[in-house]
Structure 1
C-alpha cells in the first residue's frame, strides 16, 4: 500500500478533489448544517439525500462519507482510475465500488486538508490490529487543547493519520512525525503528500526515533488505554500495564524539549483507594518542569471496558466480547482500580522554580483549551516573578472583564440573605470560585489603581481584622485567581 500511495498518485488525487470541490467548506455547503450535523452523529441518510445528483462532489461524499456502494462508471468520473484501485483507495466488486480507505476533508479557520485513515469499526466490523484512526474525538480534543504559538520545531509523537502534524503546520517551521506502526506512517505520509506538506517521518517505539534531539514543542496522542499488558490494537494499546504508558511519556518528554519548550499530550491515570490522583500523576514528572494536569473525565471500570470494546468494533454481547470484557474487568479488580481518569497534560521545561498544578475540569465548556494553556503558562511566569510576598503585595491587580459575581440568596427575617457568592469566568474553561464577603470586598477594590497591600490594609481596618492575618489568608487565593485568569496585572 505504501508504494501505491505514491507522490504521483496523491498529486493526481488532490487534482481530482480540487476539481470536484471536495473540501470542508464545500461539503458543508452541499449538505447544509442539519445533514452535516447528522453525519457527524453517525446518521448518514440526510447526507445521502443532500448529495444525490450533485456531480463528482456528491459521488465523493457518498463514497467516503456515507460509505455507499456506487456504480463504477460514477466513481471513475470522480477519481483517477485505475490507480485508485491499485492504491487500495477503493474496492471493486463487479461493477460496484466501495471505499477501501477513509479519505475526508478536514478544516480549520485557515483552510482545508485531506486525511487518509482506515475505515472505522462502524463500516468494517472489528478493526485490524494495525488499524489507523482518522479524525476522532480524542485527536480533535488534543488539537483544541494545543498551544498555537509560532515555533521552530515540532515533534508529533505517535502521529497516526497525521492530524496533529497538519495543525502544527500552521505554526511550526519544521515538523517530525513518528509512529511505531508502518501502516500509520504510510497513511500519514499520504496525508502529508496530498496536502503538499514537507514532514519528516520516522518509525520506531516511543522516543527511540529521535534520541538525542530536542524540539520546541512535542504533541502526543499516545496509546493511553488502561488495562492489562497486551497489544490488541496499536492505535490504543501500548503493551504496558495500567497507566504506565502515560507515565512513560510524561516522564521522558521533558528530555526532548528545548529550554522553554512545551509538551502537550492526552493521558490516562488510575484512581486507586487511598491515593489522590494528583499525587500519582505528579510523581511521574522529573525535575525542572512546569506542569498542568487537567482531568476532564473519570470512568468507572464497567463503562470504560464497554466503551473501548465498542470502539474496536467488538460486540460486548458476543462470546469474544464477553471473554475480553471478563479478562479486562478481572485485571481492574485485581489491581483495585476504582476509576480511570482522562485528560490533558501541559509540560514546559524551565530553569525556574517548578509549578505543578492538577485540576478537575469536568464541566462542559466551548472555548479551545489551548488558549487557556498558553495563558496559564504566561500567568505562571508572572507569578514566579512575583513569588515573594512583598512582590505580590506590591502588584496592582484588576478583575478580568470576563468575570462576573453570582449571588444566591435565601429568605431570612429581614428579607433576603446571600448564602452563596460565586465568581464565574464567562469565557475559557469557565472557572468558578466561591467567595465570602471579605473576598467580595477585596475584589471590588481591584481596579488596577492601588497595590494589593494598600487594599488589604483598608479592608482590615474596615472589618476590624488584623492585617497580617488577612495577608496570610489572601495571598494563596490571589495566586489562584491570577492563575485562573480572574485577576490580571494592571
Structure 2
C-alpha cells in the first residue's frame, strides 16, 4: 500500500491556526471573491478538474487573493515573498509550522503540502462557509492518489450534508470524520460532537479545520467503527464511512478514505447492526453506503435483513450499477485512467472478486435508522428506490418521520394539501374523462403518484375547511357508493399520501380518526 509521499500530517497549533484564519479572512479568501477573480466559466472548469482557464486569468496577478488561489486552491508552489505578503500574520514559516507547506533553503518558492478551499453550505441555520484543509488532490500531485490520502469535500460529503435531519440534538457522533466536514456541519445544531476516524492523518486535518473555523464543540478520537465510543449513546449519528467495495489483492490500492478493509458490503452491515446500541431513545443514525445483490437476494432485501425489527428504518437506493460499471467508477476515482496498464489489471481484479462472490449488482443509497422513543408497535419500514432529483431531502426525511408518528393515532382529523403538490390529467383524444390522473410533488422526493377520480377529489377538497369524514361522506354521495366501502378503499391510500408528504395535518385539527363509519 503506497504511503503519502513525504508530507507529514498537519500540526494544528492554536496560535498559528488563529493567525492563518485572520489572514484568510483579511484576504477575503472565500468562494464568491475567488469566483469573481477568475470568472464563472473558469470556476466551472476547475470543478471539472481543469485548471488552465483559472491560470490564464491569475498567472501574473501578484495580489493576495490570487497568490492564495494558486497556493491553496490549485496546490502550486509560490514565491515566499508573495506568500508573506498574502499571509502577513502567519508568514510562510507559520504555514510550514502548521505542516501545510514545505520550504528548502536553496529554493525561492514555498511548496504546498495541503489544500485549503472555501466550502459554502446551506442548512436549517442559514447560509455559511468553511475553510476546509485536505491533502493535495490528483490535479496538484499530477499522479494517482496515495493510499492514506485525506479527501476534501467531495460529492458524497455534500450528499450526506443535505440528508441530515435538521433537528437540534444534545450529543452527536460523526463516525469516520475524514477532513471533518460533517462534524462541522452537525456542530451547528448539536451541543457536543464526537468525531472519530481510524486515520491519525485524517484526525489531524479534522482538528485543524475545526480550529480554523472557530468551532469549539467537537472532540476527536482515534479508532475503528464504534470502538472509540464504547458504552456511549448519541441523539444523532452520521457517517460517510469507507464503504467502497475493493478486492483484497496485491496491486489494488486500498484507499483509507473510501475502503474500510472488509470484504464486500460487510462494513455497511456492521454499521447497521451496531449503530442502534449507541442511539438514545428517539435517536437517529444516518449513513451513505453500498450493498450487493446476490442470486439469492436483492441488495435492499439483504439490507433489510440486517435491521433490528424494533427500529424505524428508511432506506433509499439512489442507483444500482453492474459490477463492470462499479469497477470502472472507483478505479477512475483513484486517479487511474484507461490509458494506463494498471487500469486493465485493476478491472480484472474487481470483476474476478465480484464473480467469485456471485455479485450481480451493487446499490448505492442512504440509510436512516431511528430508535423509537416509546413502545408503539407500528414501525416505519421503507426500503425503496428513488432515482429522481431530490430537493432538501433532510427536511423531507424529517417530515416523513413526523408524518409516520402522526399516523400512529390514526389519520389526522383535518388534512391540507401540501403547497408544492400539483395535479396533471391526461386525456385520450375525444374522451371527456381523463385516462390518467397524477399528483406531482414539487419538492422533497419529487414523487409522482397515479390516483383515481375519488382520491383526486379527496385531495382537491383538503383545504382545511372540511374534515376527512366530511370529505369522504360527500364523495360517497357523489359517486353513489356505500361510505364504508369508499373509506376502506381510500384509507390506506390517504395514509400513503400523508406519509409521502402530499397531505399534511392541519395544525389546529391534528387529532387522529380511525374510521368514518
TM-score (ref. length: structure 1): 0.92
- The CA deviation at 1:224 is 1.0
Q: CA separation in 1, counterparts of 2:248 and 2:468?
A: 53
- The CA deviation at 1:50 is 4.2
In the alignment, structure 1 segments of 5+ residues that lack a partner are 387-391
Aligned partner of 1:106 among 113, 116, 119: 119
Tell whether 2:425 aligns with 1:407: yes
- The CA deviation at 1:159 is 0.3
**Corresponding residue for 1:201?**
220
**Corresponding residue for 1:140?**
158
**Corresponding residue for 1:299?**
321
Tell whether 2:380 aligns with 1:355: yes
Cα distance 1:54–1:486, how it changes in 2: closer, same or farther (>3 A)? farther
Aligned partner of 2:413 among 386, 390, 395: 395
Aligned length: 481
**Corresponding residue for 1:115?**
132
Deviations 1:238-270 (A, max 9, x none): 122111111111221111111111111111111
Q: CA separation in 1, counterparts of 2:207 and 2:313?
A: 32
Aligned partner of 1:232 among 229, 254, 263: 254
Taking the TM superposition and a 5 Å limit, the aligned residue runs for 1:186-197 are 186-197=204-215
Tell whether 2:271 aligns with 1:249: yes
Aligned partner of 1:219 among 227, 238, 248: 238
Cα distance 1:287–1:116, how it changes in 2: closer, same or farther (>3 A)? same
Aligned partner of 2:92 among 81, 84, 88: 81
Task: Provide the secondary structure at the position in 1 that maps to 2:274.
Answer: helix
Contact 1:402–1:426 (8 Å) recurs in 2:
yes
- The CA deviation at 1:34 is 3.3
Tell whether 2:40 aligns with 1:21: no
Q: CA separation in 2, counterparts of 1:64 and 1:279?
A: 45
**Corresponding residue for 1:389?**
none
Aligned partner of 1:210 among 229, 232, 239: 229
Q: CA separation in 1, counterparts of 2:266 and 2:25?
A: 44
Q: CA separation in 2, counterparts of 1:15 and 1:400?
A: 46
Taking the TM superposition and a 5 Å limit, the aligned residue runs for 1:31-46 are 31-46=38-53
Moved more, 189-198 or 317-326: 317-326
Cα distance 1:255–1:228, how it changes in 2: closer, same or farther (>3 A)? same
**Corresponding residue for 1:441?**
457
- The CA deviation at 1:2 is 4.6
- The CA deviation at 1:288 is 2.8
Aligned partner of 1:96 among 93, 109, 132: 109
Moved more, 320-329 or 438-447: 438-447
Task: Provide the secondary structure at the position in 1 that maps to 2:262.
Answer: coil
Deviations 1:116-135 (A, max 9, x none): 11112333222222111101
Task: Provide the secondary structure at the position in 2 that maps to 1:418.
Answer: coil
In the alignment, structure 2 segments of 5+ residues that lack a partner are 1-7, 507-517
**Corresponding residue for 1:55?**
63
Deviations 1:450-486 (A, max 9, x none): 3333433332343243433333322221111101110
Deviations 1:256-313 (A, max 9, x none): 1111111111111112335343322211112432111111111221111111111111
Deviations 1:43-74 (A, max 9, x none): 32333344452611111111222333433322
TM-score (ref. length: structure 2): 0.87
